[in-house]
A and B are shown apart, each in its own frame.
Chain A
Amino acid sequence: MPRIPSPRAWATGLFVVAAPALAVSFGSPLRSSDAPRASLSLAPAGSTCEPRAPLAILVDPPESAGASLELQVVIEPEVDVLDLGFAVRLPNGGDVVALSESAFGARLKGERVASDVRIATPVGAGFAIELVATARISDGSAAGGTSSIQTVERVVWGEPVADVLGRGAFTHDARRAGPIASRDVPAIHRPAGEVR
């Protein structure tokens, strides 16, 4: 299985298979309908600052992605977990062609697990993959004594089309130099006197 460790991968101990031409390691072959296309560049990582669940997702995504890509994803529970699961979501389309491991059972804090993922990427200006680690933990405050935690790591190549919500509206406002550009949604309306 040809694997090309990037310099960053060497540094972190992770190995990532990047080049589609070398993507022969596991899973079924790509569908013949997957047309070749220009590769998309890895988008800069987000600067999220909200706390994440104590499930660290370690991945070294390839700098570019073509019709398919492969990743090795390492998950490190930072607390003892009663079961540990892994899934891949593709919010912009595409197919998960292969996922080597998705359930890991009980794991101790610091006990890393890995899963190999092969994805047929969608056509378009960009796409994202969401790596989802989920676990149950012991929780004395919860009914049943356990509660769930989840970490989602989103990796983006290219520039996915931004979501556009609501209808465009322009409203003039004397207090402002220009109109207010808004995304408008119809209000639920209850006329005067109508009881909810």
Chain B
Amino acid sequence: MLRVTLACAFVLAGAAYGQGVVTGELRYVDREFDFLDGFNGTETERPVPRALVHVLDASDESTLASGYTELDGGFAIPVVGSGPKDVLVRAFTISAPFGGNPVYVQDLSLNIYSTTSPVLSMPSLDQPFDAGVLVAPKVLGPGYQGGPFGILDQGVRAALYVMAQGEPGLPMRVDLFWPEPGGSFASGNAAHIQDDDGFDDIVVLHELGHVMQHLYSDSDSPGGSHSFSQSDQDPRLSMGEGWASFFAGAVRQHFGEPNPGFYMDCKGNGVTGPFSVQLKMRFEDGQPYANSTGGEADEGAVFCALWDLVDRADTNDGFAGDDDLVDGSFEIAPGLDLDAAQWAAFTGGEVLGTFSLHVVDLWDGYFVDAGAVRYDEMSSALDAWKIRVRPDGAEPNDSTSSAVPIALGDAWSETRTLYHATSGGPAPGNGDVDQWSFHLDADAVFEVETRYPGGNPDAETYADTLLSVFNPSGALLATGGDGGVGRNAKLSDLAAPISGTYRVAVRAESGSRPTGSYELRARQTGVLGPPQISGVTPSSVQTLQTTAQPTVIVSGTNLNGFTGVAIGGVPAAATLQPDGDLAVTLPLVDQVGALDLSVTSPLGTGSFPIDVHPPPAPLLNIQDGLSFWFSFTPLSFKLAAEPNDLAFLLFSLSGDPTPIPGIVDLGIGGGIGGIVEVKTVPLSGGGLHAFSLGIGTAPIGVDFHFQLAVLSAATGTLPLVTSNVVKGKKLN
């Protein structure tokens, strides 16, 4: 209707000024998609809005006149002259200016795209002429296809959307580049669209979302590879990427697209049907990643939550009504519709002023810059995506006097939040301090720690907690932000000097993650005293391995103050683990059977039996299994068999076997002439022997082969029993 009206206007104008007018309609071939099927096989023609159109003299392609299409793709371009003329109508992927600046779609060589009519014969230049319908076809590349005018359509829609929120126009030109071989991305005022994203409207709008962040707001995203179902991202990335995907849905909703609320990236090679989908996620319910989406550090949670703040009960998303309380039936910020409120927050001082922008900053912006007043409904929408911008049920517990008592034990608390209102109302907010208290008797050993909600290994919160423990007099006993899983804090092996009420304060450790969610527990782990060992894992170990000696884990209480560890009286190296256990490296113990593993501290010694046994067959260890040797380091040999066996250490340059029936069946030598005996070793009562051998004069780069042949002390008969073969090479 608009086109017809304009055409009539120019007809009248042409009559008055001797001008003609060329009218017509510009469309592009689009590939339709939907959430279930991806590209569904339907190709439609859509109008190209606000595109530059030239009328050319067909004889030399000089320009006779130019103008822009309207939103419905119609154009009416006045031309000057008289008499018949053959003309071309050429449309470009250049938009009309929006506040002075247009949108361009180009290839990487900075060529605009255009589409041109066949030669059209105008009966007379001073008469109206209907050029008909021009349809920009699909553009086919090797293995992909796209629609440059469709990409322009998305650019125009993005510009019109931000102008509908009150922006006067684009502050600078927006460039869209296609086909980009390296992947879709945005940089400054440019969006690069990957070759196979040429019909992925949502990907184009996502990248335009990044451009709009740059032009009107802010992003502190560090970039990098990212995906849905990741709930422990950098929260700055989650905000940047989540908002860009949200923007695509908001624009599509603004223009009345059916089912506008989802992200989708499809294969661009022309395939159709569900298998055409590479990645998709629905904003309304998070499918198919709903179960693994949540928190401030999850781009999916960000766009789902923001979507709930702009979608309405009448949004055509395939769901009856709305799944959240913000349904468009009331203003969340007086005088602003849902999109305008979001935009006011997104472009306001709260967002622009932060150095580490995350979704909670945008939340605060709703109240600081958009004047939001519907805290309950809005926080409920965010809470559904585990973005918890509300005080927890134990508040107020910010001060020493308001510390909330908790029970000591293994159970974790319910999920708590670190959101604390900083004004008279419930929002905006910032970091909180939660104070908890518990009773301990003197000499109790205890620990406190935090974890992610539900112990989720993927966090589902951006919280980074810091713990501070105070004794009954209020003096700081310990503080720290590390030791727990991920960013969680754990303070272990704390000793209670006196009986009384102890207090733990939980706050954010990082200013860039000021809020978030956590769970807490405090438990007594022992009583001050000598080490007490409750278990050793594994409980049975072999005297020797082909690689480095094994580690056994010693569990118990009061192990943290250890000063020495021994097995069978042989000192052993040990390190304290974060969970209070000791990791003990088995020494060369020249005994077998049940031995004492003892841990000593200034308060005494605790012990526990451990079974040490010989290997089931003779075993040779050289350099703990390292097969590259150096002349400046003597080779370390360790031999193990049954106690009191007699071992022959053999050497050869050949790795071929040497069978000597009834005597020995060796894996090295390639014949008896290729074998050299290095050493005869009577093994000890523990079946072990160790020595070093310099190899400074041995040849370089030659494979050495070693093996043991062992005479059993128990039988004293042939054949000899052989060990594993060790192969190595001297590098210098």
Chain A interfacial positions (CB closer than 8 Å to B)? 46-54, 56, 78-79, 89, 91, 128, 137-143, 147-152, 154, 156, 160, 162-166, 168-175, 180-194, 196
Contacts and interface: CB of A to CB of B under 8 A. Distances in A.
Contacts of A139: 287-288
A169 B299 contact: no
Interface of B: 24, 29, 35-36, 45, 54, 56, 61-63, 66, 89-92, 94, 107-118, 130-137, 139-143, 179, 181-187, 194-197, 203, 206-207, 210, 223, 225-230, 241, 245, 263, 265, 267, 274-275, 277-280, 282, 285, 287-289, 292, 299
A166 B138 CA distance: 11
A125 B109 CA distance: 18
A185 B111 contact: no
Contact of B113 (A79, A140, A163, A183): A183
A134 B535 CA distance: 46
A54 B116 CA distance: 42
B282 A182 contact: no
A51 B224 CA distance: 10
A51 B663 CA distance: 67
Contacts of A184: 90, 113-116
Given A142-B274, A162-B109, A168-B111, A192 B132 contact: yes
B134 A52 contact: no
Given A171-B54, A188-B137, A192-B131, A54 B274 contact: no
26 contacts: A47-B187, A48-B184, A49-B183, A49-B184, A49-B186, A49-B241, A51-B279, A78-B230, A137-B288, A148-B275, A150-B279, A160-B181, A162-B108, A163-B181, A165-B107, A168-B111, A171-B90, A172-B63, A180-B114, A185-B115, A185-B116, A185-B137, A186-B118, A187-B89, A187-B134, A196-B45
Given A182-B111, A189-B132, 15 more contacts: A46-B183, A47-B183, A48-B183, A48-B185, A49-B183, A51-B227, A139-B287, A141-B287, A160-B181, A162-B108, A163-B179, A180-B114, A187-B115, A187-B137, A189-B118
B230 A91 contact: no
Given A171-B56, A187-B137, A49 B36 contact: no
The residue in B56, B62, B184, B186 that gathers the most chain A C-beta atoms within 10 A of its C-beta is B184
A54 B229 contact: yes
Contacts of B196: 152
B274 A46 contact: no
B181 A128 contact: yes
Contacts of B184: 48-50
A137 B287 CA distance: 11
A139 B289 CA distance: 8
Contact of A154 (B90, B182, B245, B282): B182
A183 B61 contact: no
B274 A148 contact: yes
A51 B223 CA distance: 11
By Cβ-Cβ distance, the 5 closest A-B pairs, closest first, are A48-B183, A46-B182, A139-B288, A192-B130, A141-B287
Contact of B185 (A47, A141, A169, A174): A47
B226 to A, nearest CB: 6
Contacts of B241: 49, 51
Given A154-B181, A182-B92, A189-B134, A52 B227 contact: yes
A22 to B, nearest CB: 17
Contacts of A165: 107, 113, 139-141, 179
Contact of B141 (A150, A163, A175, A191): A163
A52 B107 CA distance: 23
A124 to B, nearest CB: 13
Given A51-B263, A138-B288, A141-B288, A189 B133 contact: yes
A147 B185 CA distance: 25
B116 A169 contact: yes
A192 to B, nearest CB: 4
B302 to A, nearest CB: 12
A186 B207 contact: no
A27 B132 CA distance: 59
B56 to A, nearest CB: 7
A56 to B, nearest CB: 7
A180 B112 contact: yes
The residue in A50, A139, A151, A175 that gathers the most chain B C-beta atoms within 10 A of its C-beta is A50
Contacts of B274: 142-143, 147-148
A128 B142 CA distance: 13
A188 B277 contact: no
A181 B112 contact: yes
Contact of B207 (A50, A128, A138): A50
The residue in A56, A143, A163, A174 that gathers the most chain B C-beta atoms within 10 A of its C-beta is A163
B133 A182 contact: no
A172 to B, nearest CB: 5
B228 A141 contact: no
A148 B90 CA distance: 40
Nearest to B240: A49
Nearest to B210: A49
The residue in A56, A186, A196 that gathers the most chain B C-beta atoms within 10 A of its C-beta is A186
B133 A186 contact: no
B183 A183 contact: no
A156 B274 CA distance: 29
A48 to B, nearest CB: 3
Contacts of A78: 227, 229-230
Contacts of A46: 181-183, 185
A47 B221 CA distance: 13
B252 to A, nearest CB: 17
B182 A51 contact: no
B50 to A, nearest CB: 15
Contacts of A192: 24, 130-132
A179 to B, nearest CB: 9
Contact of A48 (B113, B114, B194): B194
